[in-house]
Chain A
Amino acid sequence: MRRAPRRSVLRVLSILATLLWVGLAVFTVVAIYYVAAGGVWACLSEPLFMADYDKGRLKMVIGILVENQAIFDLMNVRAYGVVADTLGNVIGTNTTDFYYVGVGSELSFSLSFYLSISKLAANPSTSYLMTEKARLAINMTLSMIYAYIFPTKAMVTIKVDWGPPLLGLRARLMKGPSPSTTCVLVMFKNAAPFWFKGYLIAHLYSNWGLLAEEETYMLVHKGEEKAISIILPISPDDLPEHYKLVLEFKTNMFYFTWGYEHG
């Protein structure tokens, strides 16, 4: 008589544990099977650059496609990423909203990074990106909750070549068209994925202060090699042994100063 309740308690507990094990095992095997069979997959596009000329920034867009042919929903699907150069300088970060991908459906969305060229130019550790080619690394993470109990992250690094707007920037002083003028010849190539327009201002300094300055308007197309001359109202004979030339780029896309010292 006393053994009956004991046995029924044990039976209930044993059945409960067995059912839970079987349920968990079947659930996990089915979840893994659909992933292993390619039921859930994602692909990324190559980064696409789009210039926002009004705001002076470069938008880098990566398209993401997530397809769910499994039997569980994908919840909280989100992408986030960090753009950095090879020196480890973080250039941009961003994240997307949360999305939901139901069974048998697909979702395409994009992750955009907004790169302010002026900020890159103003930062001493990233200003080299204005004049030198570089390789950027986009560390992308796609996170989601698969099969309700498996929060999953897929991390991938995309390499992208960076073309600077002032590739190979160099300048030199020459005799001007008249004896009282000096010509500043500025050369560079626009390897950036945008065109730009604005003013190039040349300042010439001696140890005692400003000697001369002049500006010129420029319009530089994508991929264009440019040679710009600015005539300074100073005779080459009046140039001191030691002087400093500062070039100031005031364009619709960026503000950048560059200089070199002579002597």
Chain B
Amino acid sequence: MASAKEVATRILRATVAAGITYIVTYYLPMTFLLIGETAKVAEPVITPFSALCIFFSAADELLRGTGGQYVLEVVRGFAFVAYFSLTVGGGELVFVIPTEGSQAIIAVDMTVFFFIVVMISLVEIATSILKAIFYFIEREEEELEELRAKLLRELSQG
């Protein structure tokens, strides 16, 4: 059982992580990188991305050092794959930009970008699954070691 102090520390760390993630993934891009019309166009894409990042960074801090952390990492990998596939829909991001006299439609084909994202996510998911497997194997091995030591102690005493 975790002590109250440990829980409080975890909550504090999760809050700090969420704050930093918010600044990096939402505040800085919307304030300095994307200005005016571009920010308006990019906001529907950036907001859910930022929300996902904030949630997972906070949850990661809360579950750090437990088996749940690795499960969370796998979920995060799939969540980002789902996010990108929903965001880029048919593989294109379309922006409408008003120009002099008419409108310009800018369509960015995200297929290659999405492919790279999925590949990296798969590497990350594989890593997380391996981490989870190794974590539980190591825990079992530690328990076996403890039992072995206990048995040896009992045998030597007997």
Contact = CB atoms under 8 A, between A and B. Distances in A.
Interface stretch (B2-10, B61-69, B107-115, B147-155): B107-115
A153 B106 contact: yes
A17 B102 contact: no
A3 B126 CA distance: 18
Interface stretch (A84-92, A124-132, A154-162, A236-244): A154-162
Contact of B33 (A3, A20, A32, A159): A32
Interface string A226-243: 000000000000000000
Nearest to A18: B124
B12 interface: no
A153 B107 contact: yes
B104 A156 contact: yes
A154 B138 CA distance: 55
A214 to B, nearest CB: 48
Contacts of B75: none
A104 to B, nearest CB: 22
A13 interface: yes
Greatest chain A CB density within 10 A among B35, B101, B113 is at B113
Given A10-B130, A32-B33, A33-B33, A158 B123 contact: no
A155 B102 contact: no
Q: Which of A7, A17, A155 gathers most chain B CB within 10 Å? A: A17
B111 to A, nearest CB: 8
Given A10-B134, A36-B38, A156 B123 contact: no
Q: Name A's interface SS.
A: helix
Contacts of B111: 151
Given A10-B127, A28-B113, A152 B107 contact: yes
B33 A36 contact: yes
B120 A155 contact: no
Contacts of A21: 120, 124
B103 A156 contact: yes
B109 A151 contact: yes
Given A10-B130, A10-B134, A156-B105, A29 B33 contact: yes
A12 to B, nearest CB: 9
Contact of B105 (A20, A32, A150, A154): A154
A159 B120 contact: no
Interface in A8-27: 9-10, 13-14, 16-17, 20-21, 24
Contact of B131 (A10, A24, A29, A157): A10
A20 B131 contact: no
A6 interface: yes
Contacts of B38: 36
A28 B18 CA distance: 22
Given A32-B33, A155-B107, A156-B105, A149 B127 contact: no
B97 to A, nearest CB: 9
Contacts of A13: 123, 126-127, 130
A14 B131 CA distance: 10
A152 B102 contact: no
B82 interface: no
B34 interface: yes
A29 B49 CA distance: 14
B33 A16 contact: no
B112 A157 contact: no
21 contacts: A13-B126, A13-B130, A16-B123, A17-B123, A17-B124, A20-B116, A21-B120, A32-B34, A36-B34, A36-B35, A150-B110, A151-B112, A152-B106, A155-B104, A155-B105, A156-B102, A156-B103, A156-B104, A157-B102, A157-B103, A159-B101
Given A10-B127, A157-B102, 15 more contacts: A9-B130, A13-B130, A16-B123, A17-B120, A21-B124, A28-B113, A32-B34, A36-B38, A151-B112, A152-B106, A152-B109, A154-B107, A155-B104, A155-B106, A159-B102
